[in-house]
Amino acid sequence: MIDCGLDWLGKLKRVSPSAIVLTHAHPDHAWGLKRGAPCPVYATENTWEGLQHYPIKDRHVIKERAPTKISGITFEAFPVEHSILSPTVGYRISAGRACIFYAPDLIFIHERAAALSGVQIYIGDGATLTHSFIRRRGKALIGHAPVRAPLTWCDKEHVPRAIITHCGSEIVTGDERKIAATLRAIGAERGVEVRIAYDGMKVAL
């Protein structure tokens, strides 16, 4: 299981994860672990600093750019720009011949070429479809890139498919047909097949 937001608090028995991997310590990604976890939890040192008071017994540190095997699946953490207070990573995830990249919140990926090389599906931030949610704090950037940005990265790094998840109000409350058509058009301009994620979605690689 990747990330465990506040809406999962007290509900982890429903999915019985063998492990939980965290991207960062924001409420919608980690606060479902406020009462602890029924399995090992993996996160970067920066994320653990934000969760130091959580009663999680089986803690593991993931080092950036160091492939780590978890339940038979290899995770490699890549720093992404998103938050000052909660430094964030995306994960290059591989098993056998399958390889995806997952980054639910970001402005851009550090070492993007290495992160996306050979990736079959990019799964990422749907906070905003067309409007920029990027703000400046001093010299740092925080927030979310619009969906067209990662689809451009996919084009440049030869990633053929993308799934948009962790969607914001523009997508969630918008007209489904219009949103889907806009997204397909943005993807088609870049040669990327793109879909919006939904609960229970299964993907073949």
pLDDT tier at 118 (50, 70, 90 boundaries)? very high
Per-residue confidence (pLDDT) for residue 82, from 0 to 100: 97
The string of pLDDT tens digits covering residues 62-77 is 999 999 999 999 999 9
Where do the domains of the chain lie?
1-62, 78-198
The string of pLDDT tens digits covering residues 163-201 is 999 999 989 999 989 999 999 999 999 999 999 999 999
Q: What percent of the chain has pLDDT over 90?
A: 94
How, if at all, do strands 133-137 and 140-144 pair? antiparallel
The string of pLDDT tens digits covering residues 86-112 is 999 999 999 999 999 999 999 999 999
How far apart (Å, rounded) are the C-alpha atoms in residues 189 and 157? Answer: 15
Q: Which residues contact 110 (CB under 8 A, 6 or more apart)?
A: 78, 79, 80, 81
Does the structure show a pLDDT above 90 at 132? Answer: no
More confident residue, 204 or 122: 122
Helix (H, G, I), strand (E, B) or coil at 86: coil
Per-residue confidence (pLDDT) for residue 131, from 0 to 100: 85
The string of pLDDT tens digits covering residues 23-46 is 999 999 999 999 999 999 999 999
Per-residue confidence (pLDDT) for residue 63, from 0 to 100: 98
Per-residue confidence (pLDDT) for residue 64, from 0 to 100: 97
Does the structure show a pLDDT above 90 at 15? Answer: yes
Instruction: Round the average pLDDT of the chain to a whole number and report it.
Output: 96
Query: In DSSP terms, which residues pair with 2 in a beta bridge?
Result: 21
CA-wise closest residue to 158 among 199, 111, 122: 122
**pTM for this predicted structure:** 0.95
H/E element, 176 = helix 176-190
Per-residue confidence (pLDDT) for residue 22, from 0 to 100: 98
Q: Which residues contact 82 (CB under 8 A, 6 or more apart)?
A: 24, 88, 105, 106, 107, 142, 143, 144
Pick the CATH number of 78-198 from 3.40.1000.10, 3.40.50.10440, 3.60.15.10, 3.40.605.10: 3.60.15.10
